[in-house]
Amino acid sequence: MDASDMGADLKKVLLSADDISTRLAEMAAQVDEDYADKDVLLVGVLKGAALVMADFVRALHLPAQMDWMAVSSYGSGTKSSGVVRIIKDLDTDLTGRHVLVVEDIIDSGLTLSWLVANLSSRGAASVEVLALLRKPDAAKVHVDVRYTGFEIPDEFVVGYGLDYAEHYRGLPFVGTLAPHVYES
Ligand code: PRP
Look at phi and psi of residue 82 and say left if phi exceeds 0, alpha if psi is from -120 to 50, else beta: left
Neighbouring CB atoms inside 10 A of 93's CB total 10
Q: How far apart are CA 110 and CA 19, in angstroms?
A: 27
Please state, in angstroms and as integers, the Cα–Cα distance from residue 88 to each residue in 18, 71, 85, 93, 138, following that order.
32, 7, 9, 14, 27
Alpha carbon of 79 to ligand 1 centroid (Å): 9
pLDDT tens, 19-33? 999 999 999 999 999
Three-state secondary structure call for residue 177 = strand
77 pLDDT band, cuts 50/70/90, is low
The protein residue with its alpha carbon nearest to ligand 1, atom 14, reads: 111
Domain boundaries, the chain: 18-154
> What is the architecture, at CATH level 2, of domain 18-154?
3-Layer(aba) Sandwich (3.40)
Task: Write 74-78 long-range contacts (CB < 8 A, 24+).
Answer: none
pTM of the model: 0.94
Alpha carbon of 25 to ligand 1 centroid (Å): 23
Angle at CA 103, nearest 5°, toward 174 and 25? 70
Across 44-58, 62-76, 122-136, 164-178, least confident range: 62-76
Residue list, ligand 1 pocket, CB within 6 Å: 45-48, 73, 80, 103-112, 163
Across 1-5, 72-76, 80-84, 165-169, least confident range: 72-76
pLDDT tens, 96-143? 999 999 999 999 999 999 999 999 999 999 999 999 999 999 999 999
